[in-house]
Amino acid sequence: DVKVTQSSRYLVKRTGEKVFLECVQDMDHENMFWYRQDPGLGLRLIYFSYDVKMKEKGDIPEGYSVSREKKERFSLILESASTNQTSMYLCASSPGLAGTYNEQFFGPGTRLTVL
């Protein structure tokens, strides 16, 4: 069965802390994505990656960075967490085959609270 796992279901951090959110997929997918979801704003794409060591900015990359050193792992980094980064963070992956790029498999999400 297809699986995308995220390191934590719930996380509480303090303003100014460096935060790492980890995502691992076991499907050998080329593409990986990070979204955040907020009430009234829906899901918004932060960053995505279509290959190891490759990254592309999504719609709201400010305040975030990413790392993809291995194909199965995609990390989202908050260099200095702020309260407006309190949100649900969702990771997804998809195959790189033509026509399947947007057939994304999502993880369960990490609810991050920044105090």
Compare residues 51 and 79 and give the one whose CB is closer to other proteins.
Answer: 51
Q: Under the criterion CB under 8 A, does residue 105 sit at the interface with other proteins?
A: yes
Q: Which two tokens stand for residue 59?
A: 């719609």
Compare residues 4 and 112 and give the one whose CB is closer to other proteins.
Answer: 4
Parallel/antiparallel/unpaired status of strands 110-114 and 10-13: parallel
Please give the distance of CA 63 from its chain centroid, rounded to a whole number: 13
Binding-residue pattern over the window 66 to 95 for other proteins, x denoting contact by CB under 8 A: ------------------------x-x---
Angle, CA 53 vertex, CA 82 and CA 101 arms, to 5°: 90
Beta bridge partners of 11: 112
Residue numbers at the binding site for other proteins (CB under 8 A): 4, 33, 35, 42-45, 48, 58-59, 90, 92, 98-99, 101-109
